[in-house]
Structure 1
Amino acid sequence: GKEVPLYIGDFVLASYGTGAVMAVPSHDQRDFDYAIVHNIPMIQVIDGADVSEKAFEKQGYLGKGCKLMNSEEFTGLTVEEAKTAITDKLVGMGIARRKVNYHFREWIFARQRYWGEPVPIVYEEDGKIHVLADEELPLILPELEDYKGKNGQAPLENAVEWKQYDKDGIKGKRETSTMPGSAGSSWYYLRYIDPDNDKEFANQELLKHWMPVDLYIGGPEHAVGHLMYSRIWNHYLYNKGLSPVKEPFKKLVHQGMILGANGIKMGKRFPEFVVNPSDIVRDYGADTLRLYEMFMGPLEASKPWSDQGVEGAKRFITRVWKFFTEPEHISDAKKDELTRVYHQTVKKVTTDFEVLGFNTAISQLMIFVNQVYRTESCPKEYAEGFIKMFSCICPHIGEELWSIFGHEDTIAYEPWPTWDEAAVKEDTIEIGVQVNGKVKGTVTLAVDEDQESALAKAKEIPSVARAIAEKRLVKEIYIKGKIINLVVK
């Protein structure tokens, strides 16, 4: 019965419903921040946390036992119970009705092209639709001399004999449209597990062993289209007992798009910016292409193409080849100056690979190569460990180097290098020194430097000494490994 003020908010999505939405500042952080600025009263309606400092947005609270508060007759109900009870009351009052809004659009399943699964449907002469029996499947595409459709018709219209159906007293014409590419790709991950099985959909024991898919990588168009279709198909197959899991994928990662040098999607609009991968492989090699694309930036980001970047990738591969193919560069003894950077490289590349951080892993490999050039030699153990990591990005060069090092078997099945955590740690660290919040210099300290010693060294820096000269030192702040800040007046 209370009046509710209306506010214009620039963070409301106009496409969401009518464009007018309810605000719940106690339970949505954006609404909370907005309410603080505009001094809007906030009423907490879900119990479970203090909302004086921030909104209570406990994820997954639906059905988890959190109950309503300050909600009159609905106080004490769980959120899920309250949703039903409140809706019932509104319907009973005649001021609301239940409605389900679907954001899905119908999927146009037919394609007027030759390539695709033929639809196992026959249109009988009397207008009835006949579905082929299981014994008549799979329905195989006929071979055609002309694979192009004519006058807007499907190419299978050219298969005059194939499209005529006459069996067991049923006469008619086959459907000549084929299924879209998304049909087969909506369940291919199941069939890949057992592709040669001609007795069943796929062996259930194999499906139970391999499903669900651990990691799915695809472009952004997969999120709404293919990913949604494959989930719907898998749910259906799960209900039929053909898929052992309800959800087919554990994790999805969207890979970014490689744009033209003009920063726009490659295509017919700007043909001069289209890059043919075959040309790059021909001129620079497949490993250069791989290295460059992985080094361009984060996997999920869209990145513009750069010919100079390709040249840089080629130069790095050349540096690796020149160093590790010269016997005088490889030694049996360990070099102390390489120990730390080697173990740091193994750790970073390993952890970066686990989160698909290929660009930063490559950056660390470059740091290692720069260091071995400075020392002019590398222990064989470190060299082979580097080649194992490098071969994941540049498999052709990696295999060649592995062979040059005297190995007859492929590098692919070699154990992954390991790192020593003690060797990774730095003995010293460089941190910034501030005076009244402004950086005046840096100081190199031992990792475990005590406060008294750290502050003394910081004050000896000429630029810092000048900034605090003839001033009263009010406060000294030393956050180990982070910053030194001197407050003066």
Structure 2
Amino acid sequence: MEKYNPSVIEKKWQAIWNKLNLNKAVDFDSKPKYYCLEMFPYPSGKIHMGHVRNYTIGDVLARFKRFMGYNVLHPIGFDAFGLPAENAAINAKIHPAKWTYSNMDYMLSQLEKLGFSYDKDRIIATCDPEYYKWEQKIFIEMFKRGMAYRKESEVNFCPHCQTVLANEQVEDGKCWRCDSEVVKKTIYGWYFKITNYADELLESIKLLEKGWPNKVLSQQINWIGKSEGAFIKFKFEQKDEYLEVFTTRPDTVFGVTFVSISPKHPKVKEIVKDKGTLDYVEKMIVDLDIKKDYDKEKDGIYSGVNLINPASNEVIPLFIANFVLMEYGTGVVMGVPAHDQRDFEFATKFSIPKKIVIYRDDLSKDINLWDKSFTEEGYLVNSENFNGLQNEIAKEKIVECLASKNLARKSFQYKLRDWNVSRQRYWGAPIPVIYCPNCGIVPELIEKLPVKLPEDVEITGFGGSPLSKVESFVNTTCPICGAKAKRETDTFDTFVESSWYFLRYCSPHYDKEIFDRQKVKYWMDVDQYIGGIEHAVMHLLYARYFTKVLSDLGYFESREPFKRLLTQGMVVKDGSKMSKSKGNVVDPDEIVNTYGADTARLFILFAAPVDKDLEWSDEGIEGSYRFLNRLYRLFATNARRVKNAPKKDKIDERIKELLYEINSCVQKVTNDVENYHFNTAIAKLMEYVNFLYSFNPKDEELGYFKEALEKLAILSSPFVPHLACEMWEMLGCDSEVFEQNWPKVQKEYADKDTVKIAITINGKLRDTIEISKKTGEDEVKKLALQSEKVKKHIADKEIRKYIYVTNKILNIIV
């Protein structure tokens, strides 16, 4: 008997699949559509085990849905622009385009070796001018409608990468790519008005609650950060001017004993007269720019001026404080030390009075006995006409009262800021803008798109965008007046490309418009999207925003791109996420070359639930390989015997037992795949294989045993497609396994009257017994103790207790 040889089997079937073009999606097919998509990779050169897990999950779903009669769109492409290509060009003295396209070719060959069922006619690369041409058109339309604009502002800047970073790309004060300390820099840049969509981005989260993980939705809600509150005016003591604060706690306004202003607030230099104070403020600004940890140390300095509390008319000091962010509210906050912990610590440090205005009967009335602020609900005290009111009710009343004096107004604030899409690097899509001395800022003519990225560029990594030194690119003429003009040399943030690529897959070669609108109408929305949770507030938020923008621009009706989202867990080894820096990377090529693609797929699906982290295990790979050898032998041993075997008319008890096992497996695997419980579906297949080995069919049972093997081949095929095709061929079946219908449960054999109970002793399996589902616990114990295997293991031992899980397991503790 031949041994299982994955290398031969997998090459054979990949060649057949390519020839048959089995994975081609058919536009406007009469079948129901299913759009299955994994987040596309950056062409770094090699896929890693995180990629393998992501793509295997998607491939199982795509194959399963094809079996279920769906017209499946399952595409792949490359998020091909970005800084790593530019850095590689600097280090290896190779052009980023050559590096990128070479990597794409290699990664596609890797994906093919793993047997992923992608539609190869729909491959896209975002660095292709025929892709980013349409992105430039979108930008121009947004610019003309005021959705895109240019401004000078303070930005996050990575000195190592020499580029701007969005807030989402700064992690603990460091660059998300190179881990360098991020600094603040004031430069001009291009922005998308994502804040105009803040409310809709929040509201439409309700549409995603059934299909998206709660943790992703929570992260987006927190990132948008909508706060309901009020703007309140505090008058300067010595002049008829005001500072306005935003607060979510107007109920505590009578407890304000100081106000804090950001050191970056433009009013600071106007307010402060003392040079020593100004020098200290400058030091605070420098410290803020290098991202010190202010959760540990609150710092500030008295400004030299006082304000009037509009509620109590008390004179209070104005401090310049390092914890006040210019980006939130007005850059001025009211200090309520009795009811805000940060203010409590600051007031304690600077000996500022504390005043109780929210009280509960179990609290001390002496603020000096408090060791922290009180931030829970209560009723108002020391608040004049509002005393006794529950504090939530008092919020509304106090704002109404102050508003009647023109000292307050109700409002909402957001943490979300407009999206800075400018990057000062080469390898990106050029922003299609021209600067004319006569006409100002004007967009390129749409009929002249794409504005191509020039290839003749010297890339050093220093001194801003390399495009600024390419005269043939920079020097142009104004599309309006024809005067000599200059092109924009910033390129788009790569998150722009990934915010709409899923739409381009619907018609990747369409050359008349951004996409074929009818095809997008047919395929969208994406039915299942799969990727890492690390993209919760970057890619996923931007993609949702871009979908709404394109809908408002009239391209299609949908307002949300992804119906369902699955965020797979990380692949970890030795307790840490796999990474080159930690030296714990497992090369997928080595696994495929040694054990085969099906082994890699099986292990990655079986080792953990899809949404949990997967701990890499060499023993687990070996175990998966052994199971596939066993599966292969089952077919190799029985294929000739069952090939032409008829089914006999009479169904005896053994055949019934076989039919019950077949249908139990079909039901369990089907339900588990539909609910993404791939690990338990595979466990059921393993259990089923064990049963088929033990069944040992007689000649007159071979017709039914062939049915058992046929259904096993089909049920296995989403997980191990190469071996499944080989097993189907062994059986001598007509057509291909992927042309079959997914097995349906035969109702008459779906629910057995009996079940097998595992008998364990101190947690170790010692025997199984078959009982009626109606058998009581006491009878199960009796039957277990009659087992010779059990008797052997409890001889001369004292039974301390039984643990019984109805119709599943009896554990005997001895």
Taking structure 2 as the reference length, the TM-score comes to 0.43
Deviations 1:13-68 (A, max 9, x none): xxxxx9975469xxxxxxxxxxxxxxxx9xxxxxxxxxxxxxxxxxxxxxxxxxxx
**1:142 matched residue in structure 2:** 454
- 1:4 partner amino acid: R
Aligned pair partner of 1:370 in 678, 690, 693:
690
- Larger relative contact order (Cα-Cα within 8 Å, sequence gap ≥ 6): 2
User: CA 1:185–1:459 in 2, change beyond 3 Å: closer, same or farther?
Assistant: closer
Q: Once the 2 structures are TM-superposed, how far is the Cα of residue 409 of structure 1 from its aligned partner? A: 3.6
Counterpart position of 1:350 = 670
Paired position in structure 1 for 2:579:
267
The equivalent residue for 2:748 is: 422
Given the superposition, is the C-alpha separation of residues 100 and 274 from structure 1 closer, same or farther in structure 2, using an over 3 Å criterion? same
Tell me what 2:216 maps to: none
**Structure 2: which amino acid aligns with 1:227?**
L
1:457 corresponds to: 779
**CA distance in structure 1 between the partners assigned to 2:498 and 2:427 by the alignment:** 14
Matches within 5 A, 1:3-402: 3-4=359-360, 22=376, 89-94=397-402, 97-124=409-436, 128-144=440-456, 148-157=459-468, 159-167=470-478, 168-259=481-572, 261-271=573-583, 273-326=584-637, 327-328=639-640, 330=642, 332=645, 335-377=655-697, 379-402=705-728
- Whichever residue aligns with residue 104 of structure 1, its letter is L
- Conserved 8 A contact 2:457-2:470: no
- TM-score w.r.t. length of structure 1: 0.70
Alpha carbons of 1:357 and 1:482: their partners in 2 closer, same or farther (altered >3 Å)?
closer
Call closer, same or farther: CA 1:316–1:142 in 2, change over 3 Å: same
Per-residue deviation, 1:351: 0.7
More strand by share: 2
* Paired residue type of 2:633: K
**Separation in 1 of the partners of 2:631 and 2:758?**
35
Structure 1 residue 182 displacement after superposition: 1.5
Distance across 2 between alignment mates of 1:322 and 1:443: 27
CA distance in 2, matches of 1:456, 1:288: 44
Q: Is the CA contact (8 Å cut-off) linking 1:113 and 1:149 kept in structure 2?
A: no
Look up the equivalent residue of 2:443 and give its one-letter code: V
Alpha-carbon distance between aligned partners in 2 of 1:161 and 1:462, rounded to the nearest angstrom = 87
One-letter code aligned to 1:115:
W
State the 1:144 CA deviation: 3.5
2:473 aligns to what SS in structure 1? coil
The 2-side partners of 1:483 and 1:282 are apart by: 40
SS of alignment partner, residue 186 of structure 1: coil
Q: C-alpha deviations, 1:175-233, integer Å up to 9, x for none?
A: 33322222111111222112222222333332222222211111012221111001111
Deviations 1:239-274 (A, max 9, x none): 222121112221111111111x21211223311x11
CA RMSD of aligned residues (A): 3.8
Query: Is 2:769–2:784's contact at 8 Å kept on the other side of the alignment?
Result: no
Which sits farther off after the overlay, 162-171 or 286-295? 162-171
Q: Deviations over 1:436-456 (max 9, x none)?
A: xxxxxx99752245xxxx477
SS at match of 1:98: strand
Partner Cα distance (2:501, 2:548) in 1: 14
Is the 1:343–1:424 Cα contact (8 Å) retained in structure 2? yes
Consecutive unaligned residues in structure 2, runs of 5 or more: 1-356, 364-371, 380-387, 648-654, 760-767, 786-803
Tell me, yes or no, if the aligned pair for 1:388 and 1:416 is still in contact at 8 Å. yes
Q: Distance in 2 between matches of 1:431 and 1:325?
A: 31
Instruction: Provide closer, same or farther for how the CA distance between residues 407 and 480 of structure 1 changes in structure 2, counting only shifts above 3 A.
Output: closer
Q: Quick check: 1:90–1:97 contact (8 Å CA) kept in 2?
A: no
Contact kept, 8 Å, 1:263 with 1:303, in 2: the verdict is: no
CA distance in 2: counterparts of 1:19 and 1:224, whole angstroms: 32
Work out whether residues 714 and 724 of structure 2, in 8 Å CA contact, stay in contact via their aligned partners in 1.
yes
CA distance, structure 1, for counterparts of residue 469 and residue 805 of structure 2: 79
In 2 relative to 1, CA 20–352 (structure 1 residues): closer, same or farther, beyond 3 Å?
farther
Unaligned runs of 5+ in 1: 8-17, 25-40, 42-71, 75-82, 434-441, 464-477, 485-489
